[in-house]
């Protein structure tokens, strides 16, 4: 960057000019990318080796013009990016980001606030606190509740389980688990459909992976509360210390919501921490029509909700909300290093977010969520979410019309699961059936027309179709169904010819 040595002002001028020039170029790139989304293949056909070749360059000793680097971005990065923002992306909980939220991210980068301490992010920290208040209100928490933004649902679940652990074993934070003297093992309960982050949490918090009890689910993949009660009683009888029940509101594989009210009752009965992983399904809270599914969430001690899932902001932004307020998080995480001392006498400390969770330096992530929520309002979110759920029911209906397709579970959010089970493969056994689901997913992926994942439900593989994008319309759903019909028929012909 050309920088004058004469005055600071002219250095800033040069910075401003550079932003203007690059900003125009980047705006054009983003706008072109967005315009082409509907027509572009959903994913690249290149292998990791092919892409490695494109970036196999030595450490740059001299600089390159920004324009040339942006050109490289257009030429080699964009064509091999997964088109997650596409209306034809029916994959994991990855949304099309709202334009305002994308640009809010750029604004957050330009301000480069460090939200660890209030002094280094005065307006940003207050906005984060306001946003957390809004999210708490949304799920029905009272005025004393608080929380913290996180890098995503995994970190939010970790923060929640740390609070749960510390409540069950009060000295664990300072003296370690053994010294804390909890009886037997500390045990966490979640459904066998729980997100894998709970397994990592159990390990990181020193509980051990084996002490996450994965409780059986019913035929629609909700946690079975009779099995949960039985597991808790068994652990108590064996001398262990039940610590936490984690319910799912929008399970990763199925999108279904556990019976939260009943889980809250069981947690109260046994004196356990009750956490709700609403990383995805928290979005239901926006809709008067669908929020009933979350009944009981307001009784949870803590709730994970990910704005980077059903709130359409770019990665990465999760949130952990705590019913009894910031004190709970401060008890778990607060610390005062010499260089972050409390010089103002306490008022600002309330907004030092490094005291409320694991993160130190923190990006101004609240900005994109705050802007998005102000822009759409609760009603705007409700409209999109209701439309997506309706569209998922439409997809389910279309799949029901397809020969040899069998739906699995029910639609509770914007997620629908299905298996392709022609008689030939039905007779061939479970392994062949599983292989067929993977083969069909691969065929559609290679067509470039759509992308979705597969998952395992009650031990058997199924296709997992999720309406993620607010761009998705019925015609995209029709195209997806046509791809499934065509590719499954081809697969069947090939198998019959063997």
Ligand X SMILES: Cc1ncc(COP(=O)(O)O)c(C=O)c1O
Binding site for ligand X (CB under 6 A): 92-93, 152-154, 195, 197, 248, 250, 252, 277, 279-280, 306, 318
DSSP class per residue in 347-401: TGGGG-GGGGSS-SS---THHHHHHHHHHHHHHHHHHHHHHHHHHHHHHHHHHHH
State the minimum distance, in angstroms, from the CB of residue 277 to ligand X. Answer: 5
State the minimum distance, in angstroms, from the CB of residue 148 to ligand X. Answer: 14
241-248 and 186-191 beta bridge pairing = parallel
Which CB, 242 or 250, lies closer to ligand X? 250
State the minimum distance, in angstroms, from the CB of residue 339 to ligand X. Answer: 30
State the minimum distance, in angstroms, from the CB of residue 306 to ligand X. Answer: 5
State the minimum distance, in angstroms, from the CB of residue 74 to ligand X. Answer: 28
Which residues are within 8 A (CB) of 376 and not within 5 positions of it... i.e. 6 or more apart? 98, 384
State the minimum distance, in angstroms, from the CB of residue 188 to ligand X. Answer: 14
CA 257 vs CA 95, 266, 291, 422: distances in Å: 20, 16, 11, 30
Is the separation of the CB atoms in 19 and 106 below 8 Å? no
Which CB, 197 or 217, lies closer to ligand X? 197
Is the separation of the CB atoms in 29 and 70 below 8 Å? yes
Residue 179 has phi, psi (to 5 degrees) of -65, -25
Helices (H) and strands (E) in the chain, counts: 16, 11
State the minimum distance, in angstroms, from the CB of residue 138 to ligand X. Answer: 17
Which CB, 306 or 449, lies closer to ligand X? 306
Is the separation of the CB atoms in 280 and 308 below 8 Å? no
Which of 147, 156, 131 lies closest to 369 in space, CA to CA? 131
CA distance 350 to 143: 15
State the minimum distance, in angstroms, from the CB of residue 254 to ligand X. Answer: 10
State the minimum distance, in angstroms, from the CB of residue 293 to ligand X. Answer: 14
CA distance 201 to 211: 11
Which CB, 211 or 413, lies closer to ligand X? 413
For tokens 């609240």, the residue is: 366
Which CB, 309 or 461, lies closer to ligand X? 309
CA distance 30 to 67: 15
Which CB, 54 or 92, lies closer to ligand X? 92
Q: Among positive and negative, which fits the CA dihedral 265, 168, 293, 402?
A: negative
Which CB, 87 or 152, lies closer to ligand X? 152
Report CA 251 to chain centroid distance, whole Å.
11
CB-CB neighbours of 349 under 10 Å:
18
Which CB, 282 or 422, lies closer to ligand X? 282
Which residues are within 8 A (CB) of 383 and not within 5 positions of it... i.e. 6 or more apart? none
Which CB, 279 or 328, lies closer to ligand X? 279
Which CB, 319 or 425, lies closer to ligand X? 319
CA distance 399 to 395: 6
State the minimum distance, in angstroms, from the CB of residue 192 to ligand X. Answer: 13
State the minimum distance, in angstroms, from the CB of residue 106 to ligand X. Answer: 21
Which CB, 89 or 93, lies closer to ligand X? 93
End-to-end CA distance of the chain: 64
Which CB, 191 or 441, lies closer to ligand X? 191
Q: Dihedral through CA 36, CA 40, CA 42, CA 45, nearest 10?
A: -140
For tokens 């740059």, the residue is: 60
CA distance 148 to 368: 15
């Amino acid at each position: 960057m050309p920088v004058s040595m004469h005055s600071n002002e002219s250095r800033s001028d040069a910075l401003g000019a550079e932003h203007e020039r690059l900003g125009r170029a980047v705006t054009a790139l983003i706008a072109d990318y967005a315009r082409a989304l509907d027509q572009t293949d959903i994913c690249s056909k290149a292998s990791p080796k092919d892409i490695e070749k494109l970036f196999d360059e030595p450490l740059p000793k001299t600089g390159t013009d920004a324009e040339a680097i942006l050109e490289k971005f257009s030429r080699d990065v964009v064509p091999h990016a997964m088109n997650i923002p596409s209306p034809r992306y029916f994959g994991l909980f990855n949304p099309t980001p709202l334009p305002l939220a994308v640009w809010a991210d750029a604004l957050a980068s330009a301000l480069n606030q460090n939200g660890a301490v209030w002094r280094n992010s005065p307006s940003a920290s207050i906005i984060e606190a306001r946003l957390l208040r809004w999210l708490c209100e949304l799920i029905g928490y009272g005025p004393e509740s608080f929380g913290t933004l996180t890098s995503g649902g995994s970190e939010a679940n970790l923060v929640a389980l740390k609070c749960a652990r510390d409540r069950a074993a009060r000295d664990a934070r300072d003296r370690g688990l053994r010294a804390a003297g909890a009886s037997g093992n500390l045990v966490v309960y979640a459904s066998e459909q729980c997100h894998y982050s709970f397994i990592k949490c159990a390990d990181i918090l020193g509980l051990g992976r084996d002490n996450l009890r994965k409780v059986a689910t019913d035929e629609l993949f909700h946690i079975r509360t009779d099995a949960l009660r039985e597991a808790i009683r068994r652990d108590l009888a064996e001398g262990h210390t039940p610590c936490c029940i984690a319910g799912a509101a929008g399970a990763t594989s199925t999108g279904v919501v556990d019976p939260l009210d009943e889980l809250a009752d069981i947690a109260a009965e046994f004196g356990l921490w009750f956490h709700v992983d609403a990383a995805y399904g928290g979005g239901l809270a926006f809709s008067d029509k669908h929020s009933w599914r979350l009944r009981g969430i307001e009784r949870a001690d803590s709730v994970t909700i990910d704005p980077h899932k059903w709130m359409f902001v770019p990665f990465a932004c999760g949130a952990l909300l705590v019913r009894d307020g910031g004190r709970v998080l401060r008890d778990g995480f607060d610390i005062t290093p010499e260089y972050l001392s409390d010089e103002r006498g306490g008022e600002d400390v309330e907004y030092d977010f490094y005291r409320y969770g694991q993160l130190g330096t923190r990006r101004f992530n609240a900005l994109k969520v705050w802007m998005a929520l102000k822009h759409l309002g609760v009603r705007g979110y409700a409209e999109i979410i209701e439309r997506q759920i309706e569209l998922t029911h439409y997809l389910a209906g279309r799949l029901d019309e397809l020969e040899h397709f069998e739906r699995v579970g029910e639609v509770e959010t914007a997620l629908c699961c299905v298996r392709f089970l022609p008689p030939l493969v039905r007779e061939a056994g479970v392994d062949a059936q599983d292989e067929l689901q993977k083969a069909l997913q691969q065929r559609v992926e290679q067509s470039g027309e759509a992308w979705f994942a597969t998952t395992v439900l009650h031990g058997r593989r199924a296709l997992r179709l999720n309406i993620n994008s607010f761009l998705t319309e019925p015609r995209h759903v029709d195209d997806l169904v046509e791809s499934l019909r065509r590719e499954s028929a081809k697969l069947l012909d090939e198998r019959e010819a063997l």
